[in-house]
Amino acid sequence: MLLENILRLLLREFKTRERVEINEFAEKVGVDLNSILETVEIYGFETKKGCVYLKDRRKVIFNLLNKGFDLEDILRYFDWRDLEDICAAFLTINGFYTMRNLRFKVHNKRYEIDVIGIKDEKLLLIDCKKWKRMSNSMLKNAVKKQFERSKAFSEVLDTIKIQIAYDRVILIPAIVTMLPGDLVFYNSVPIIPITKFKNFLHDFENILDSLNSIEVKLRRLFESEAGFEA
């Protein structure tokens, strides 16, 4: 419990500064240096010249989720800018390989997919939306564009080095948002509040048949793991 309390106090400091001086922080919160250093090591912060840095936000978020912290608790210290990191962390914890910010070109048009989760023959293609509000027109447009990205990705999948041991894969477009609310579907594409993402991944296999998807037959298999995050 002591280390968790130190962690929360440390994260609170990072909301207003880029580095925390260890001796100053120890005196401020009234804890010993060893406990602070143990907290820093456990949760993945970096230290240099007597200061703590939150440089690898993705690593810290993963460690928090992996150690059972509630997402609502984590969101007190992180915000919409960390949405892609939170998605990737949830995917990894649930047995997916992940790829981030994959850029590609089809017919001279550039595309980017924020997060890809790969599990067996299934590829979850996620567009992270940092909306502060959502209208029906925004929702309709976002789903249309994400399906277009997914179709374009299906055309170049054979050229991207991904470790897939199947000759047929299923691409599932999805949208994740920071907005509160329930999981909804538009044209069978899931729009998932980040607070519901864990439950969505848990039920993913059970609702797969009801999701809009694209089946792709691969002409060849790749063995390279380049681009993966474990």
Cα–Cα distance between 81 and 181 in angstroms, integer?
19
Does position 21 have pLDDT exceeding 50, yes or no? Answer: yes
- Determine, yes or no, domain membership for 146: yes
Residue 107 and residue 188 in one domain: yes
Residue 146 and residue 187 in one domain: yes
Number of domains, the chain: 2
Q: Note the pLDDT of residue 160.
A: 80
**Which residue segment(s) compose the domain that 163 sits in?**
80-217
* For range 61-85, the mean pLDDT: 87
- Determine, yes or no, domain membership for 137: yes
Average pLDDT value over all residues in the chain: 89
Q: Note the pLDDT of residue 149.
A: 96
Q: Are 190 and 211 in contact (CB under 8 A)?
A: yes
The CATH number linked to 198 is 3.40.1350.70
Strand partners, 116: 99, 125
- Determine, yes or no, domain membership for 6: yes
Chain centre distance of CA 88: 3
Does position 136 have pLDDT exceeding 90, yes or no? Answer: no
Q: How confident is the model at residue 50 (pLDDT cuts 50, 70, 90)?
A: very high
The CATH number linked to 10 is 1.10.10
Residue 111 and residue 16 in one domain: no
Q: Are 18 and 53 in contact (CB under 8 A)?
A: yes
- Determine, yes or no, domain membership for 94: yes
Per-residue pLDDT tens over the stretch 24-49? 999 999 999 999 999 999 999 999 99
Residue 36 and residue 145 in one domain: no
- Determine, yes or no, domain membership for 96: yes
Residue 27 and residue 123 in one domain: no
Q: Who wins on pLDDT, 167 or 225?
A: 167
* For range 63-68, the mean pLDDT: 90
Cβ-count burial of 199 within 10 angstroms (0-12 exposed, 13-18 middle, 19+ buried)? Answer: exposed
Per-residue pLDDT tens over the stretch 173-193? 999 998 888 999 999 999 999
Choose among 146, 118, 125: nearest CA to 222. Answer: 118
